[in-house]
Structure 1
Amino acid sequence: MPAQFFEQEIKARLKDKRKLSAFLDTLVHEHLEVKKIALRYIFCSDEYLLEINKQFLNHNTLTDIITFDLSETDNDLTSEIYVSVERVAENAEKFNKSYNDELHRVIFHGALHLCGFKDKKEDQKAEMRRQEDLCIERYLG
């Protein structure tokens, strides 16, 4: 399976993992010419992700996702994508979205970063959001 999903002491309540993995495989192949894809999503708590943020990025802030590209060649895409389930749930409430929609938005966000999409500048954020919306529409219908 191109994408694997792990839970670090917290439940993500993610359904239909095979379908999602296949969708992510298609999404990556639409944007990158790679032969092998290994996306590892690790669902965790705010506290767990905060420690990763401090240790690897020197940021002392809560975040919903951190994506690490661990690829060793241009022919493969290997990554670890950490998702705070608590942040996703809080953001879903804050933005008046369902938990399921927000969880998928964050999952697609991580994959889109790996495909080269950025979100530091306003125009990049707008394009990232557009791409996330396209993914949600295609996947969740």
Structure 2
Amino acid sequence: MKKILAVASGGGHWVQLMRLRPAFVGEEVTFMTTNAGYAQDVGNALVVVEDASLWEKIKLVKMFLQVAWCVFRLRPDIVITTGAAPGFAAIVFGKAFGARTIWIDSIANSEELSMSGQKARRWSDVWLTQWEHLARPQGPEYWGGVL
């Protein structure tokens, strides 16, 4: 059984992550998000971190520390995220602790990759876009369909 840390910000990022749940059947999954209300979706398998953006530096530092602690404590085999900031932090720390990392850029980013998605390239073992026209030979890849 693999330990998976599945990470998403709120809103559409979370909805897309929930659509991936069938892929996690039979594995030990911990979900991470910024909204405690999502416990209704995953029960006690939820870790809640600070909601932050680039424009909220103190909150961003707090969120990065919370994510780092969670990754250190859980030691996941795989980190998968649909974005945004908490997902980027999880990819960075997951990679540092030896996890395989998967970034799936949000379907909302149909014209260009998200800022977090662009930065995630360096830390991602698998780097995906949900839009075929955004795929490039050097990545991100498009594997078909949207979440």
Same fold (TM over 0.5): no
What TM-score does the superposition give when structure 1 sets the normalisation length? Answer: 0.32
Higher helix share: 1
Give the structure-2-normalised TM-score.
0.32
